[in-house]
Chain A
Amino acid sequence: MKTASPFRELETDVPRVRVRFAGKDLMLRDGGNLAAELLAAGVLSFRQTPVSGAERGPFCMMGACFDCLVEIDGVTRQACMSEVTAGMDIGMPGTEGDVDA
């Protein structure tokens, strides 16, 4: 699945792997920066905050702001500090279906 993204990739001919994000299949660049690859795939909201439920996405891209948190294997991780690997199953913190966080 590919949604319209406000980001453009300079190099498009790259090896991609299938990952799941919030129950949807995406084809992301293998070994790429997870936050960047999700943005490239048109995912802008990564989570809902535990305080107000507001949606958030990457802000600093350098591991400082913790707004790009996602859930990988039941652990909350910074997407901008994670690499894409084949078969990743990524949850969106703060949403329904994330009860085992």
Chain B
Amino acid sequence: MLEADLLVLGAGPAGMAAARTAADAGLSVLLLDEQARPGGQIYRDVGNVPEDRAQILGSDYTKGRVLAEALDHPMIRHLTGTTIWQIEAGPRVSFTRDGAASSAKAKRLLIATGALERPMPVPGWTLPGVMTAGAAQILLKQSGLMCERAVLAGSGPLLYLIAAQMCRAGTPPLALVETQTFADRQAALRHLTGALRGWRLVAKGLGLLAEIRKAGVPRYTGASAIAIEGKVQAETISFTSGGKRHNLECATVLLHHGVVPNTQAARSIDVPHHWNEVQQCFVPEKDGWGRTQLPDVFIAGDGAGIGGATAAQLQGRLAALEIACDLGKTTPADRDRNAAPLKRQMETELAARPFIDKAYPAFREALLPADDTIVCRCEEVTAGDIRRYAGLGCLGPNQTKAFGRPGMGPCQGRYCGLTVTNLLADESRRSQDDTGYYRIRPPLKPVTLGELAAMTDLETDEQEPVT
């Protein structure tokens, strides 16, 4: 079993920043990540991207190189290609690497597992050729692959970023099908003053739109009734916009309507979560340092609530400062002195959030999909199925899981959990908090029985409850 002062799960901005800050404070750090190279999704492969790709991706991407390079520190051990499938009290994690299962233990655990794209269940979203917009960006970052004849559908700043990058690469999207309405924009303007404090983000957004306009990409706004059709693969996307039905032929559809925290790891150890109405997702409960109600477990980055890459990095550093203080490596006074500038920067960073959240709300039709739409991709369970199970008395997602298998497939509910909770909350007229979420159990990701059976360094120091 590997041991360290601090175990960090995830080598994205929060995890990388936390690892370095903790190492600088004298903590031994074990950084576990699934990918072959550091960066997470936002800075995927940032350390070995060729210059032409770097130009297309822009400086907001390439600035991640600093974080990746900072992992070169004697106190940091970065295990790449590591799939974590269980977290237990200790804190201890079990993982698979190079086809062998093993485990690691530390004094503190930092979960920095980032975000997932908000599921966007619309008819046809399971067809080959339909991907998340983030997937297209990963294809570009890691593999230099551009989608030709693609339509982007949904809402949010990421949609513009990807469209602009596609324009730069000479493969502009066929169209942007945007779900936000004029009313959303009006509502967002109330938050404009706050947003101006985060003017860099807003300016960036305007610059992207200018690039998209220049490339002549058609934009449809207030889109509804979005459906993707195709015999085996996506062939067309149809939608209503401006009172008219449109039908666009395309090879790829890229969906996006915001990102949500990936809560699988935190939920698997029963960190309490609550519903965030503005961002329409569950977020873990934590204090200003990222400490959860489990005193030796911290969360930083988008997994703790969506704030973007820079905020994630700041949160990672703050958590590391508190952990170093916890473990007696720094004094509370030093911690606070080092934290002060980070906290100020965080305020600026988050200032534009309310504006963005209001201007680009989640697509309503995808939050409560029509009956025929598949909600659970793995088990092919439809929204109508969920509504029927609600009618059979299912108040929460763990009962519907037993009744009809949503959330039982290999993705463990990552892409159906929020939708199922929303549907049940809507049917029973209860809040999302009262409705609850899937109970997440190991394995967090599949592991072969052979790998499991070969585990040798097992111990059980389970706390037996008094009954």
Note whether A and B contact each other (Cβ less than 8 A). yes
Within 8 A of A (CB), among B436-467: 445-446, 448
User: What does the 1/0 interface line of A29-70 toward B look like (CB < 8 Å)?
Assistant: 100110011011000111001011011111111111111010
Shortest B175–chain A CB gap in Å is 15
Q: Is the CB of B131 within 8 A of A6?
A: no
Query: Measured between alpha carbons, how far is A43 from B50 in the docked complex, in Å?
Result: 25
> Is there a chain A Cβ closer than 8 Å to B371's Cβ?
no
CB-CB under 8 A from A40, the residues of chain B are 143, 145
> Is there a chain B Cβ closer than 8 Å to A25's Cβ?
no
CB-CB under 8 A from B128, the residues of chain A are 44-46, 55-57
Shortest A69–chain B CB gap in Å is 7
Q: Is the CB of A65 within 8 A of B377?
A: yes
Q: Is the CB of A7 within 8 A of B378?
A: no
Residue from B41, B142, B380, B446 within 8 A of A36 (CB atoms): B142
> Is there a chain B Cβ closer than 8 Å to A100's Cβ?
no
Shortest A15–chain B CB gap in Å is 14
Chain B binding surface SS class: loop
Q: Is the CB of A37 within 8 A of B415?
A: no
Query: Measured between alpha carbons, how far is A9 from B144 in the docked complex, in Å?
Result: 6
> Is there a chain A Cβ closer than 8 Å to B103's Cβ?
no
Residue from A11, A33, A45, A76 within 8 A of B142 (CB atoms): A33
Q: Is the CB of B378 within 8 A of A62?
A: no
CB-CB under 8 A from A75, the residues of chain B are 448
Within 8 A of A (CB), among B106-161: 116-117, 126-132, 134-135, 138-140, 142-150
A7, A40, A57 interface centre (most CB from chain B within 10 Å)? A7
Shortest B46–chain A CB gap in Å is 15
Shortest B234–chain A CB gap in Å is 9
> Is there a chain B Cβ closer than 8 Å to A8's Cβ?
yes
Query: Measured between alpha carbons, how far is A63 from B128 in the docked complex, in Å?
Result: 16
Q: Is the CB of A60 within 8 A of B252?
A: no
Number of interface residues of B (CB under 8 A): 50
Shortest B152–chain A CB gap in Å is 14
Number of interface residues of A (CB under 8 A): 38
Query: Measured between alpha carbons, how far is A55 from B127 in the docked complex, in Å?
Result: 7
Q: Is the CB of A37 within 8 A of B129?
A: no
Residue from A11, A33, A54 within 8 A of B126 (CB atoms): A54
Q: A59-B126, A61-B134 are in contact. List 15 more A-B contacts (CB 8 A).
A: A6-B148, A10-B145, A36-B142, A44-B129, A46-B128, A55-B127, A57-B128, A57-B233, A59-B377, A60-B415, A64-B262, A65-B411, A66-B409, A75-B448, A83-B36
**B-to-A contact residues, CB < 8 Å:** 34, 36, 41, 50, 52-53, 56, 83, 116-117, 126-132, 134-135, 138-140, 142-150, 169, 171, 232-233, 251-252, 262, 377-380, 409-411, 414-415, 445-446, 448
- Provide a sorted-by-A list of 17 A–B residue pairs whose CB atoms are within 8 angstroms: A7-B145, A7-B252, A8-B171, A9-B146, A10-B169, A39-B145, A44-B233, A45-B233, A55-B128, A58-B131, A60-B131, A61-B138, A63-B34, A64-B262, A65-B377, A81-B83, A83-B36
**A-to-B contact residues, CB < 8 Å:** 6-11, 29, 32-33, 36-37, 39-40, 44-46, 49, 51-52, 54-67, 69, 75-76, 81, 83
Nearest 9 Cβ contacts at the A-B interface: A6-B251, A57-B128, A36-B143, A61-B135, A10-B144, A66-B410, A61-B138, A44-B128, A51-B380
